[in-house]
Amino acid sequence: MDRFQNILLVGCGNMAGAMLTGWLAGGIPASRFTVVDPHRSEVPAGVTLRSDLPDGRFDAIMLGVKPQGLDDVAPVLAAMAGRETVLFSILAGVEFDSLAARFPDAGALVRIMPNLAAAIGKSPIALDARGLDEVGRASVTALMAHLGTPEWLADESLFDAVTALAGCGPAFVYRFIDSLAAGAVALGLDEGQSQRLALAMVEGAAQLAASSEFSPGELADKVASPGGSTRAGMNVLDRGQALARIIAEAMAASRDRNAEMAAEARKA
C-alpha cells in the first residue's frame, strides 16, 4: 500500500507548487494534500488550503518555506512531526543536522533537490535520507517518480554540486536559449520567430540527446562536420574553452553560495 496517504505542504511557492502540480498530473488524488500558505488564495480543486497549521498527524510533511523562514514554522510544526512522519525538505542549504535539531521526533528526514520541470514530470530529483529503511526509500522513490527522474546521492555533501547542476542549471539553459534568439535577431530574423525557433531547436536537441546512444559531446561532433558552418561556430565556443570555462565558473558560484547558506543555517 502507498505509504503517503496524507501529505502536508508547508509553504507552496513556485517550487512546491510545481511539485504539487506534478503529483496531481501523475494521478495522485488531490484529497491527499493539505497546503498551508497564507499567501495563496487558491489551490487545485480537491486540495485543502489553510492559512494556519492544522491539528493531527501526517504521513509526510514537506517544508516549502524560504530557508530563512524555517525557524518561524519549526517550533509549532515539530509537534506534528512524530515517529510515523517523514519530513521532506526542499530548502536549499539546510542540512540534516539543522533539520534534526528542529524536528528531533520525526521518523525520517529526506532532502529533495528538484527543479520547476517537476510540474510536467521532467525534473531531475536528487534525494538523500536519514532514518529511512529500504522499504521507505522505495516509497519515496515511487512518490518522486511522478515528478521526473529520482537519483539517490551517495552523500549529503554532494547536494551543493547537484544544486548547481539540477537546481540552478535550468536558469543557465534559459539564458542560453535567450542568447541564441538574440543572436538570430542580430543576424536579421524577427524577434518572435527567433524565440520560437530557438525553443523548438533546444527542445528537439534535448529529446534527441535523452534518447541517443551517443553522449552530448559526441552528438555535437556529429552535427559539426569538418569545414562546415556548425564547426565554424563551434570553434568560437571552443576557443580557449570559452563556453566550458564560463559554465564551470557559474556552477562553482552557485555551489559556493549554497554552501554559504548551509553555514548560515547551522549558525541559526
Name the domain count of the chain.
Answer: 2
Domain span at residue 187 reads 169-261
Same domain as 142, residue 175: no
Same domain as 134, residue 79: yes
Q: What is the DSSP letter of 126?
A: E
CATH number at residue 27: 3.40.50.720
The pLDDT tens digits of the residues spanning 56-77 come to: 889 999 999 988 889 899 998 9
**136 vs 92: which has the higher pLDDT:** 136
Same domain as 19, residue 129: yes
- Percent with pLDDT over 70 in the chain: 99
**Cβ distance 27 to 128 under 8 Å?**
no
Same domain as 236, residue 198: yes
The rounded mean pLDDT for the chain is 93
Same domain as 239, residue 131: no
Question: Does residue 163 lie within any of the structural domains?
Answer: no
Same domain as 12, residue 145: yes
Same domain as 126, residue 20: yes
Same domain as 112, residue 19: yes
Confidence of residue 92 (pLDDT cuts 50, 70, 90): confident
**In angstroms, what CA-CA distances link 243 with 85, 216, 239?**
45, 14, 8
Same domain as 178, residue 114: no
The pLDDT tens digits of the residues spanning 142-164 come to: 999 999 999 999 999 999 899 89
Cα–Cα–Cα angle for 13, 18, 21, nearest 5°?
120
Q: Which three cell numbers stand for residue 32?
A: 491527499
Question: Does residue 101 lie within any of the structural domains?
Answer: yes
Question: Does residue 266 lie within any of the structural domains?
Answer: no
| pLDDT computed for residue 268 by the predictor | 63
The pLDDT tens digits of the residues spanning 205-260 come to: 999 999 999 999 999 999 998 999 999 999 999 999 999 999 999 999 999 998 88
Cα–Cα–Cα angle for 138, 92, 100, nearest 5°?
65
Domain final residue, candidates 119, 154, 189 = 154
Residue type, 80: M
Same domain as 80, residue 22: yes
E strand segments, the chain: 7-10, 33-36, 48-50, 60-63, 86-89, 108-113, 123-130, 148-152
Quote the CA–CA distance of 12 and 40 in Å, as a whole number: 8
Same domain as 220, residue 94: no
pLDDT beyond 50 at 1:
no
| pLDDT computed for residue 107 by the predictor | 96
**261 vs 178: which has the higher pLDDT:** 178
Quote the CA–CA distance of 161 and 164 in Å, as a whole number: 5
Same domain as 226, residue 98: no
Mean predicted confidence (pLDDT) in 185-208: 96
Confidence of residue 264 (pLDDT cuts 50, 70, 90): confident
The pLDDT tens digits of the residues spanning 111-123 come to: 999 999 999 999 9
Question: Does residue 159 lie within any of the structural domains?
Answer: no
Domain final residue, candidates 122, 154, 186 = 154
Confidence of residue 204 (pLDDT cuts 50, 70, 90): very high
CATH number at residue 173: 1.10.3730.10
Domain final residue, candidates 154, 189, 222 = 154
Q: What are phi and psi of 198, to 5 degrees?
A: -65, -45
Quote the CA–CA distance of 12 and 1 in Å, as a whole number: 27
| pLDDT computed for residue 85 by the predictor | 96
Residue type, 45: A
Question: Does residue 216 lie within any of the structural domains?
Answer: yes
**Cβ distance 113 to 89 under 8 Å?**
no
Residues in CB range of 105: below 8 A, 6 or more apart? 78, 81, 82, 83
- Percent with pLDDT over 90 in the chain: 83
Q: Which three cell numbers stand for residue 205?
A: 536537441
